[in-house]
Amino acid sequence: MSKTNATTVGRRALLGGTAALAGFPNIGFTQPRQPIKVGVPTILSGRVAQLGLSSRNAMQIEVDRFNASGGLDGRPIELVVRDSRGVPAEAARLAREMISGEGCEFLLDAEPSSGGFAIHEVVRETGTVTLHVNSETSSLTADPRQRFWNAFRVARQGIHDSIAGGAYAAEIAKARNLRRWMTVSPDYAYGRDTTAEFVEYVKNFHSEIQITGETWPRLFQADYTENITRLSQGRPQAVYSCLWAGDLVTFVEQASIFGLFQQSQFFAVNMADYTTLQQVRNLPAGVHSGNRYLRNFPDVPENQEFAAEYNRRFNTFPTNWSWQAATSVRLLGTALRQAGGTDPRAVAGKLKGMTIDSPFGVGGKLTMRAEDQTLVDYAIGWGVTIAQDPYIQRMTPADWAVIYRLEAEWKRSKGWT
């Protein structure tokens, strides 16, 4: 058998060489190399279609750059993007089909946590190198039972945001004597977990804070009047929320006409994303927000250029999911080149502990932390809103040393280290 193969290859090489010498260079030497297929299951329809669209757009920018600079020894990356419609079972099915039916060698999972965990189980079985791009649920990589050699997270993480947000909010609370707090967050796992973590850390940094009430609107609730009147009646000095996207826009519009933002300081971790900032018609000044994606944070030319190119190509601005998606392609491309091929073990080995230059990182660097295969050193900060572009000012960067210390304590408390 091996003899036959050798003969075949030899004959092909001979034919190619003859064709080249005979004046048919396209046949002989510059025929396009086989693309490296990368599967991207994501949400492209429904109320959170922006998740998939802005992920796909940013990936395409980075893929075009990778291919234009020669790809992997001439092999370009080809994205295979499919719509899961936000159904975890469909995301898992798509992942399997991409791997076994469409020849995808790698996955960039651009699902939220619900679909991300479903895909995680698929690739645990298939051994496909997978980068989770949008799942922020901490346990995905923090829990050692969830961890295996071929899965990585290239997304911000709930515990990091909660520590950063807690530290910032506690400083504001001390300075303005804000002790009575209420919360309004969506009534599902993300909302409950993120709010609980924020409350834990804001109290950790400022023990005099009391949560005097909470209200839990449904995900995608149409009307927030009842939640806002409850907040008004509670007369809190500060309100925390992890509502997001359209839900946050609706809440802010309604809360504005109740004068809630004159009554209380508002801390909204998900406000500083262009999809939200540009949709709120009456963006109140002085709302505190964590950064999701801002073109001026970090305020470096490469970040501005990324936003400008994205805007030029897609007539809108990047989102939090965009910077994560772009980073996932850059990490994968770098690992492919360092490994010199597509061998999964070699690529995964290069990804572990890899540091890359990035406009989205602190000091221009991002690291795929080896111990739990998750992204660290990305830019986290909080600032306050203003009505006009750039929408957020007085950004206060988070201290990663504090995040590392408290994250380690949190993992110990969970029995994960």
Partner 1 sequence: MELAELGECLSSVSCIVTQSAAGLTIGMLLFLVASGLTLIFGVLGLVNFAHGSLYMIGAYLALTVHGATQSFALAVVAGTLGTALFGLFFERFLLSRIYGRDVLMQLLVCYAVILILDDLVKIIWGADFRSMGVPEEFRRPPFIIGGGIVPYFYAILFAITAAIAVLLAWGMGRTRFGRIVRAAAINPGMVGALGINTTVIYAAVFAIGAGLAGAAGALSAPIRSVVAGAGVSILIESFIVTVIGGMGSIGGALAAALILGFTRSFGSIGFPLFVEGAMFAMMALVLLLRPSGLGGKRPS
Contact residues for 240 (Cβ-Cβ < 8 A; gap 6+): 169, 181, 182, 183, 184, 185, 195, 198, 199, 202, 267, 268, 269
Interacting span for partner 1 (CB under 8 A) from 25-33, 118-126, 253-261, 344-352: 253-261
* DSSP E strand boundaries for 228-364: 238-241, 265-272, 288-291, 355-357
CB nearer to partner 1: give 228 or 332.
Answer: 228
CB nearer to partner 1: give 151 or 231.
Answer: 231
CB nearer to partner 1: give 117 or 181.
Answer: 181
Q: How far is the CB of 296 from partner 1 (least distance, A)?
A: 23
Contact residues for 323 (Cβ-Cβ < 8 A; gap 6+): 58, 293, 306, 360
Chain centroid to Cα 288, Å, comes to: 21
What track of x and - describes contact with partner 1 for positions 263 through 302 (by CB under 8 A)? ------------x---xxxx--------------------
> 269 with 371: CB under 8 angstroms?
no
Contact between 389 and partner 1 per CB under 8 A: no
Interacting span for partner 1 (CB under 8 A) from 64-72, 94-102, 136-144, 248-256: 248-256
Contact between 110 and partner 1 per CB under 8 A: no
> 118 with 91: CB under 8 angstroms?
yes
Q: How far is the CB of 180 from partner 1 (least distance, A)?
A: 15
Cα angle for residues 398, 402, 403 (degrees, 5° grid): 75
- The token pair at 189 is 């796992």
Contact residues for 33 (Cβ-Cβ < 8 A; gap 6+): 71, 73, 74, 75, 76
Contact residues for 38 (Cβ-Cβ < 8 A; gap 6+): 63, 77, 78, 79, 80, 104, 105, 106, 107, 108, 332
Residue 34: DSSP 8-state: P
Q: Is the peptide bond before 390 cis (omega within 30 degrees of 0)?
A: yes
CB nearer to partner 1: give 134 or 137.
Answer: 134
Alpha-carbon gap, residue 156 to 327, rounded angstroms: 11
Nearest to 115, CA basis, from 187, 191, 52: 52
Candidates 104, 110, 155, 245: give the one binding partner 1 (CB under 8 A): 245
Candidates 36, 38, 40, 44: give the one binding partner 1 (CB under 8 A): 44
Residues from 121 through 150 that contact partner 1 (CB under 8 A): none
Interacting span for partner 1 (CB under 8 A) from 195-203, 240-248, 338-346, 377-385: 240-248
CB nearer to partner 1: give 195 or 227.
Answer: 227
Backbone angles phi, psi at 188, to 5 degrees: -155, 180
Size of the residue set binding partner 1 (CB under 8 A): 38
Nearest to 322, CA basis, from 268, 351, 360: 360
What SS3 state is found at 357?
A: strand
Residues from 190 through 229 that contact partner 1 (CB under 8 A): 215-216, 218, 220-223, 225-229
CB nearer to partner 1: give 247 or 372.
Answer: 247
Q: How far is the CB of 253 from partner 1 (least distance, A)?
A: 6
Nearest to 136, CA basis, from 87, 189, 96, 182: 189
Candidates 45, 100, 210, 393: give the one binding partner 1 (CB under 8 A): 45
Q: How far is the CB of 70 from partner 1 (least distance, A)?
A: 35
CB nearer to partner 1: give 227 or 265.
Answer: 227
Candidates 72, 182, 249, 300: give the one binding partner 1 (CB under 8 A): 249
Contact between 250 and partner 1 per CB under 8 A: yes
Contact between 100 and partner 1 per CB under 8 A: no
CB nearer to partner 1: give 74 or 259.
Answer: 259
Contact between 258 and partner 1 per CB under 8 A: yes
Candidates 19, 20, 27, 49: give the one binding partner 1 (CB under 8 A): 49
> 186 with 219: CB under 8 angstroms?
yes
Q: How far is the CB of 396 from partner 1 (least distance, A)?
A: 28
Interacting span for partner 1 (CB under 8 A) from 22-30, 58-66, 89-97, 249-257: 249-257
H/E run at residue 157? none
Q: How far is the CB of 43 from partner 1 (least distance, A)?
A: 10
List residues binding partner 1 (CB under 8 A): 44-47, 49-50, 53, 215-216, 218, 220-223, 225-230, 232-233, 245-247, 249-250, 253-254, 256-259, 275, 279-282
